Amino acid sequence: MSTNQTERTPPRRFKFSYWHVAIAVLAIVMLRPIVTSLFTAAPADYSYSEFKSAVGRGAVQSVEITPDRIDGALNDGSSFRTVRVDDPGLMDLLEAQRVNIRGRVPSSWVGWILPIGLMLGFWFWMFRRMRGGAGGAGGAGGIFSFSKSKARLTEGQQSGVTFDDIGGAGEAVTDLREITDFLASPEQFQRLGGKMPKGVLLVGPPGTGKTLLAKATAGEAGVPFFSLSGAEFVEMFVGVGASRVRDLFVQAKKKAPAIIFIDEIDAIGGRRGASMGYATNDEREQTLNQLLAEMDGFQPTTGLILIAATNRPEVLDPALLRPGRFDRRVIVGLPDLSGRLEILKIHTDDITLAPDVSLENLARITPGFSGADVANVINEAALLASREDKDAVAAADFDSAIERVIAGSERRTRAMNEHEKKVVAVHEAGHALAAALLPNVDQVHKVSIIPRGNALGYTWQRPVEDRYLMGQGELQDRLAVLLGGRAAEKLVFSEVSTGASDDLARATDLARRMVTEYGMSDDLGPVRLAADMQAQYLGASGHLHPSISATTAARVDNETARIVKDALEVALGIITSYRPAHEALTRRLCEKETVSGAEIDAILKRARKAHTVAVNGGATV
């Protein structure tokens, strides 16, 4: 969420709650004895002998006896008290003098105040926790305010975000402009009896600017913007979510024309009936039902538009997507080259750039980055430059920032012994050499044995352009690069280490997709064997389709293993043929820890022998 959102804080007013009553009752009970004692005369303290002589004189009217005290009243109206002693004759004496006798079992205040106090304390703590746990936004006072919506309200004019602040989302902006135009002049759209959509669903991977788009729509239309996340509806109690939805619509209708934005709507909008009977799902379903009912309940003329965002459209309940509800779907995809350039321009607007920075080049080397990633790179670069006290952010800072975003921060403090360092160098030199020699893969920009994130070393390949399609040969080359590290370890040490586990996982996943999704196995043919197409949406790699037989599943496993093994053979072939280059690169890595792509080219040139390595042959397994 951006920070330029202005939240309205209502003036704090006293609000009645049952909690106040409980505190008042407790205070009265506890203070009563003190107050009473202030207004009544204190009883006289008698010795036991004085007490007995008063009884003997017939001056005592009544006594109240407890196990260790005797309180009494004299005939003249005054009161007294004395300590009770073990005196078997006292009763006879009192009866003889016709004194009114009462007994009392004292109640210890600890006996009842403490449990009540503890109970109230627990009660208070539970309510506080439940209010705080869900984010506590919204500022509704009192412990019985669960049902209040937690939406944050930003007045349209104050949102400060417009479509100009969004880069690379041209089509989404065009779709949303229709909404702003409608909010500005609804009559024009209804002239011929048409109805505007009530809801717009923004669909796209994380960080692509969905929240920003919704905010900009409100900003452009100059209408109030109610925003909250799907998870903020959900509370421990059944029914709370539904009443929050109701409250949200009541609030929004009062401010109409307005935009309601529900981020991560999948938290409440998941398919109904998919529950296993858990209470939480009942709550979610009730919330969703209420949302559906509210969406049916307002007329498009009200000027209320719902915008929701999700990166998991496949899990949404179909009822949410039918006409009259979220019938508009706006796809907000990852930005392309020109999109990234626009985003770079927007976010570097107030950043001092050194002359060697080329935004075009930065856009080119960041395919697959979302808008949020690009913004993050710029911020990281600016932080790096200021840490080094530079006057401007240089190209090298952007390089480091991209590396950090891709592979995590450097972890120079992770101590490796000499042997481990050698293994990592051999491994990375294997990847780098395969990448430098195979024709269909991205260029090697840098290889390093400085640990980053979870990796002990890494080979950074830089794409030269955005890719939307890949041929079988390219995928096979990619696999060979992934297995280059393992191949090198095997050749140099005759055994492999645990360091290749991540490479193996990625290689196996890719090979499996080649078989089950892309129909690239001659044995199984051009059939789709992976589960549900929708589940694959937005990168979620699926399992096999449930209808696949065990025999086919076994063939899939065999084919996957064969493709990976073939790729390993290719990698082994390359490193065997270029063994001197591999050794030179390993040595260089051990000395310098980081070697650039240009240096790798130079090493290759020097060591290249007149081999008849069929690089192209290697690429087409």
Bond prior to 205 in cis (omega within 30° of 0): no
| DSSP secondary structure string for all residues of 33-74 | HHHHHHHSPPPEE--HHHHHHHHHHT-EEEEEE-SSEEEEEE
The partner residues of 293 in beta bridges, in order of sequence, read: none
Q: Give CA separation, 442 vs 437, 460, 481, 501, 547, in Å.
A: 11, 9, 10, 22, 37
212 binds ligand ATP (CB under 6 A): yes
Q: Which of 375, 433, 435, 447 binds ligand ATP (CB under 6 A)?
A: 375
Nearer to ligand ATP, 203 or 515 (CB): 203
Nearest-approach distance from CB 328 to ligand ATP, in angstroms: 17
Query: Which of residues 349 and 495 has its CB atom nearest to ligand ATP in the complex?
Result: 349
Counting contacts by CB under 6 A, is residue 485 touching ligand ATP?
no
Scanning 209-217, 282-290, 393-401, 559-567 for contacts with ligand ATP by CB under 6 A, the matching segment is 209-217
For ligand ATP (CB under 6 A), the number of binding residues is 20
562 SS3 class: helix
Q: How far is the CB of 392 from ligand ATP (least distance, A)?
A: 21
**Smallest distance from ligand ATP to CB 165, Å:** 6
307/429 with CB nearer ligand ATP: 307
Binding span for ligand ATP by CB under 6 A among 14-22, 24-32, 134-142, 370-378: 370-378
Does 230 interact with ligand ATP (rule: CB under 6 A)? Answer: no
Distance, CA of 352 to CA of 370 (rounded, Å) = 23
Catalytic hit among 264, 294, 428, 489: 428
**Segment 97-136, which members bind ligand ATP (CB under 6 A)?**
none
Which lies closer to ligand ATP via its Cβ, residue 115 or residue 206? Answer: 206
Beta bridge partners of 331: 203
- Given 149, 159, 180, 211, the residue binding ligand ATP (CB under 6 A): 211
Q: How far apart are CA 292 and CA 288, in angstroms?
A: 6
| Residue 608 · residue 437 · CB < 8 Å | no
Which of the residues 131 through 170 are near ligand ATP (CB under 6 A)?
Answer: 166-169
Stretch of residues binding ligand ATP (CB under 6 A), selected from 201-209, 384-392, 413-421, 555-563: 201-209
- Going by C-alpha positions, the residue among 109, 118, 120, 108 that lies closest to residue 23 is 120
Angle of CA points 114, 116, 117, to nearest 5° = 65
Strand order in the sheet with 79-83: 44-45, 79-83, 69-74, 60-65, 100-103
- What is the rounded CA–CA span in Å between residue 452 and residue 454? 6
The mark string for 245-284 relative to ligand ATP (x by CB under 6 A, - otherwise) is ------------------x---------------------
Interface mask toward ligand ATP for 304-323; x: CB under 6 A: -----x-x------------
DSSP reduced 3-state for 263:
strand
Q: Give least dist CB 3 to ligand ATP, A.
A: 9
Helix 579-592 vs helix 418-437: angle between axes, to the nearest 10 degrees?
130
Contacts of 314 (CB under 8 A, 6+ apart): 532, 534, 535, 537
Active site residue 474: no
Token pair, residue 480, equals 């060979």
Binding segment for ligand ATP among 113-121, 368-376, 378-386, 466-474 (CB under 6 A)?
368-376
For the segment 330-349, give every residue that binds ligand ATP (CB under 6 A): 343, 346
Interface pick for ligand ATP out of 72, 138, 199, 209 (rule CB under 6 A): 209
Q: Which stretch binds ligand ATP (CB under 6 A): 21-29, 204-212, 230-238, 547-555?
A: 204-212
Among 199, 224, 303, 371, binds ligand ATP (CB under 6 A): 371
Of 5 and 508, nearer to ligand ATP (C-beta) is: 5
Report in angstroms the alpha-carbon separations of 219 from 159, 210, 329, 349, 386.
Answer: 6, 14, 20, 20, 33
In angstroms, give the least distance from the CB of 332 to ligand ATP: 6
**N-term to C-term CA, the chain:** 48
Nearest-CA neighbor of 229 among 164, 149, 117, 120? 149
The one-letter amino acid at 184 = A
In the complex, the residues that contact ligand ATP under the rule CB under 6 A are 2, 166-169, 206-212, 263, 309, 311, 343, 346, 371-372, 375
Catalytic residues: 428
